[in-house]
Amino acid sequence: TRILFEYGEERYAKRIANAIIEIRQQQPISKTSELVKIICAAIPKKETHKHPATRSFQAIRIALNNELNELIKVLPQTIRLLKPQGRLVVISFHSLEDRIVKQFIHAESGAKYDPGKLPIKQADIAQGCLKKIGKAIRATEAEIQMNPRARSAILRIAEKSK
């Protein structure tokens, strides 16, 4: 339930998890098509233009590949690899990845900490070494027509300042 809810942002996570557990107690699930049928049967309301099992399979993939933690680990490494004025360009394919990338760029674009009401000069506050370049870029309708998978892609750009 936790994996489906957190990684797939699946609103019917508990229903799906319970359905999977119930079927597995009767027999093993050996094919993805079997899992798809279980998920589809557990979801009461289907979304248009999206397969009912999409979120669940996304959640399972993210959990198995440890994708979010890998992204969290690799982003700080990019700063060391970039030369001054080098650009970090990241394409994320779902909101969980995009949130991590957005927060990382934001954290590395300004002051490293907020001194609150302490009498500290702005010049004495450690600064991040990235500068956000423009806004998030999404695929155009023409691009989505050519490649439907591009519908969820978000591109973010930052430049190393130091």
pLDDT in tens, the chain (162 residues): 999 999 999 999 999 999 999 999 999 999 999 999 999 999 998 888 789 999 999 999 999 999 999 999 999 999 999 999 999 999 999 999 999 999 999 889 875 666 666 777 766 666 678 999 999 999 999 999 999 889 889 999 999 987
pLDDT at position 121 is 72
Two tokens, residue 32: 């993805």
Q: What is the largest CA-CA distance in the chain?
A: 67
Q: Is the dihedral of CA 38, 41, 44, 49 positive or negative?
A: positive
Contact 96, 83 (CB under 8 A): no
pLDDT at position 120 is 73
pLDDT at position 111 is 56
CA distance 34 to 14: 18
Parallel, antiparallel or unpaired: strands 87-92 and 154-160: antiparallel
Find where tokens 């399972």 sit: 60
Nearest CA to 45 out of 15, 17, 22 is that of: 15
CA distances from 49 to 46, 63, 133 (A): 9, 25, 32
CA distances from 120 to 94, 123, 126, 157 (A): 39, 8, 11, 31
CA distances from 125 to 72, 112, 119, 161 (A): 24, 7, 11, 16
pTM for the full predicted model: 0.80
CA distance 84 to 105: 16
Contact 95, 89 (CB under 8 A): no
pLDDT at position 113 is 61
pLDDT at position 107 is 87
Task: State CA 28 to chain mean position distance.
Answer: 31
CA distance 22 to 38: 10
pLDDT at position 119 is 73
